[in-house]
Copies of this chain bind each other. A is one copy, B any other.
């Protein structure tokens, strides 16, 4: 799925062109020239893009990135470099085995996941 409207395209393009996660209000400031005036406008578009799997919310930063590969919501890892701020999204490994070890949690069925790993990338060591 691609962005479905000019507004969605605009914000998606903006996020793609940035290499680091952007806050909703950063996006708002950047898009004022294009007619965006209120936070609710940004959040509305972001929520659509999240639903389409085109954008990922980094919960630990309250910020948003364009996905390189479209994926279902809550189905990727993000690695975030504390040095340069770069982010890489990658497929989530299977940790169902992890749950089997704990009483009452062995039948746990994962639905959405937020897996966010901060650290240092090889260029920033």
Residues of A within 8 A of B (CB): 59-60, 74, 77, 79, 81-82, 88, 90-91, 93, 95, 98-99, 101-102, 104-123, 125
Contact A112 B104 (CB under 8 A): no
A110 to chain B, nearest CB (A): 4
Q: Which residues of B contact A95 (CB under 8 A)?
A: 77, 93, 117
Contact check: which of B90, B112, B116, B123 meets A98 at CB < 8 Å? B90
Number of copies of this chain that the complex holds: 2
26 example contacts (A-B, Cβ-Cβ < 8 A) are as follows A59-B114, A60-B114, A79-B105, A79-B108, A79-B110, A81-B108, A88-B102, A88-B105, A90-B98, A93-B95, A95-B117, A104-B123, A107-B122, A107-B125, A108-B120, A108-B121, A108-B122, A109-B119, A109-B120, A109-B125, A110-B119, A111-B120, A112-B119, A113-B117, A114-B114, A115-B115
Asked if A111 contacts B119 (CB within 8 A), the reply is: yes
Question: Do A108 and B119 form a contact, CB below 8 Å, given A90-B98, A90-B101?
Answer: yes
